[in-house]
Amino acid sequence: MNFDWSQLSLTFSAATLLAFSVALIKGAMRVGALEMKVDTMWAFQMRRAVSEVVSTGLGQLKSPVVFTDEARAALEPIREGLVGFWRTLPKGISDGEALLAIEMRFGDALLRLVCIPCGLSHGACLILALDIAKQSNVLDLNPATKARRRLGGFAWARKWFLPPIGPSGG
């Protein structure tokens, strides 16, 4: 019996390639799911920060949040730095990602200027800093917004892959 070893090698190569492809796709799906969970937890924490703004009297929930003059004055020493930093961030960055960037760059100053003096611990100082940096108090803390932006202007994709979040969709 004459056996062709090249056929066996080709079969193993194809099977290996297929297994690797499946593992790669599965890994990418898990990373995407993990990213969405982290974004959701971050949005949850920032919603608690909005609650902290209201409960400590630093601002009012009037859709959007409106900070008091005293709260804004607390960040006056780094106001120009925040505004300048905002200009360096990529266009289209989500508010959640911007909050993380502000924390990384200004976290120590926020702790010293706002968090400790005002008794804050849930991130209200980050929302105040973003408000000052953006020069806008309109915040979007919905983690699905980032995913919707990735899908671009394809209305059909948003409809099928990201249903509205709310009483009936969520």
Q: Is the pLDDT confidence value at 148 over 70?
A: no
Count of structural domains, the chain = 1
156 inside domain? yes
Q: Which residues, including other chains, have CB under 8 Å from residue 163's CB and lie 6 or more apart?
A: 169
Is residue 64 within 8 A of residue 138, CB to CB? The reply is yes
* Rounded Cα gap, residues 100 and 106, in angstroms: 10
122 inside domain? yes
User: What would the pLDDT profile of 102-114 be if each residue is shown by its tens digit?
Assistant: 989 998 999 999 8
Q: Which of the four pLDDT bands, split at 50, 70 and 90, describes residue 160? A: very low
DSSP run (H or E) holding 128: helix 124-134
Domain that holds residue 67: 35-161
- Cα-Cα-Cα-Cα dihedral sign, residues 140, 52, 101, 35: negative
3 inside domain? no
Q: Which pLDDT belongs to residue 71?
A: 86
12 inside domain? no
Q: How far from the centroid of its chain's Cα atoms is residue 137's Cα?
A: 17
95 inside domain? yes
Of the candidates 88, 91, 41, 47, which has an alpha carbon nearest to the alpha carbon of residue 65? Answer: 47
Which residue would you say has higher pLDDT here, 149 or 77? 77
User: What would the pLDDT profile of 42-85 be if each residue is shown by its tens digit?
Assistant: 776 777 777 787 788 887 776 677 888 888 899 999 999 999 99
9 inside domain? no
